[in-house]
């Protein structure tokens, strides 16, 4: 089963002074308020954060419900916008794959993949032995998901008291936090180039295709960074 020691170690990472708890909570306060305005009740809002736990996906869902989109179109729109979770999983899970651990842990805990948990794991995994990393990861994921659910509840109930400036503040906080985290992660040539090129190319591709811009920006920018980095390291 899950080793308590490593689970708790992961869980407590949310309490560190530079943890993403505040940024994460603010985003989900905004989501809670948005869902209430879309017409969700409290149970539906909590359920959506619990089951989806990916901000852009929730935003797409809310917009789709507002315009009365079909379930099929919601499925493809969300799959598209959350396709970034695939490379995030592939660049994280090999770090914790160990034969001594049962596979179900990996299949269930992949639900926790989201920017905040991913970045915490990326900057801390080396401190944990490989066989215990998945338990540590489950701890981090449980902590970030708990914060998100609590923040959704808070957002739902304070929705009526939030004015335009407050909503704007909640909305900018998250990209600023992640910008700082990405800049902080720029420690190798490959990652520095990946972040820089992705940030430049994502918006450029937006002019050609808003739906494809993130995937295209990521694949083109990331591949150039990879090739350039490999060439220079060797």
Q: Find the binding residues for other proteins in span 23-52 (CB under 8 A).
A: 23, 26, 30, 34, 39-41, 43-44, 47-48, 51-52
Report if residue 180 touches other proteins, rule: CB under 8 A: yes
Cβ-in-10-Å burial (0-12, 13-18, 19+) of 67 comes to exposed
Nearest-approach distance from CB 131 to other proteins, in angstroms = 14
Rounded to whole angstroms, the Cα distance separating 179 from 171 reads 13
- Show the site string, 86-125: x = touches other proteins by CB under 8 A, - = not: xxxxxxxxxx-x--------xx--xx-x-x--x-------
Residue ranges in 203-232 that form contacts with other proteins under rule CB under 8 A = 203, 205-206, 210, 213-215, 217-219, 221-223, 225-226, 229-230
Nearest-approach distance from CB 202 to other proteins, in angstroms = 3
Segment near other proteins (CB under 8 A), from 1-9, 79-87, 142-150, 152-160?
A: 79-87
Please give the size of the binding site for other proteins, defined by CB under 8 A. Answer: 107
Of 12 and 39, which CB lies nearer to other proteins in the complex structure?
39
Nearest-approach distance from CB 192 to other proteins, in angstroms = 9
Of 4 and 91, which CB lies nearer to other proteins in the complex structure?
91
Report if residue 2 touches other proteins, rule: CB under 8 A: no
Handedness of CA 29, 30, 32, 36 (dihedral sign): positive
- The number of beta carbons lying within 10 Å of the beta carbon of residue 17 is 4
Which tokens belong to 35?
A: 């869902």
Rounded to whole angstroms, the Cα distance separating 133 from 137 reads 6
Q: Are 53 and 149 in contact (CB under 8 A)?
A: no
Cβ-in-10-Å burial (0-12, 13-18, 19+) of 51 comes to exposed
Of the residues 8, 59, 154, 158, which one makes contact with other proteins according to CB under 8 A: 59
Nearest-approach distance from CB 36 to other proteins, in angstroms = 12
Of the residues 10, 20, 32, 139, which one makes contact with other proteins according to CB under 8 A: 20
Of the residues 3, 64, 124, 158, which one makes contact with other proteins according to CB under 8 A: 64
* Angle subtended at Cα 118 by Cα 172 and Cα 75, rounded to the nearest 5 degrees: 75
What 199-203 contacts at long range (C-beta under 8 Å, 24+ apart), as own/partner pairs, is none
- Cα radius of gyration rounded to whole Å, the chain: 18
Report if residue 166 touches other proteins, rule: CB under 8 A: yes
Of the residues 67, 100, 165, 208, which one makes contact with other proteins according to CB under 8 A: 165
Residues in the chain: 234
Cα 206 → chain centroid: 21
């Amino acid at each position: 089963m899950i080793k308590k020691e490593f689970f708790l170690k992961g869980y407590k990472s949310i309490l560190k002074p530079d943890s993403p708890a505040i940024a994460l909570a603010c985003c989900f306060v905004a989501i809670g308020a948005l869902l209430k305005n879309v017409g969700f009740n409290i149970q539906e809002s909590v359920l959506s954060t619990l089951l989806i736990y990916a901000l852009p996906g929730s935003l797409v869902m809310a917009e789709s419900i507002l315009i009365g989109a079909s379930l099929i179109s919601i499925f493809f729109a969300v799959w598209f916008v959350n396709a970034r979770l695939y490379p995030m999983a592939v660049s994280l899970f090999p770090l914790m794959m160990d034969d001594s651990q049962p596979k179900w842990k990996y299949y269930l805990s992949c639900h926790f993949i989201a920017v905040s948990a991913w970045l915490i794991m990326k900057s801390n995994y080396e401190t944990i032995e490989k066989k215990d990393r998945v338990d540590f990861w489950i701890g981090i994921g449980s902590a970030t998901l708990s914060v998100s659910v609590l923040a959704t509840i808070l957002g739902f109930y304070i929705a009526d008291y939030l004015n335009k400036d407050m909503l704007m503040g909640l909305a900018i906080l998250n990209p600023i936090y992640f910008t700082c985290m990405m800049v902080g992660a720029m420690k190798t040539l490959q990652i520095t180039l990946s972040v820089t090129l992705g940030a430049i190319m994502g918006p450029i591709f937006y002019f050609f295709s808003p739906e494809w811009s993130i995937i295209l920006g990521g694949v083109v920018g990331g591949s150039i960074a990879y090739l350039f980095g490999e060439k220079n390291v060797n």
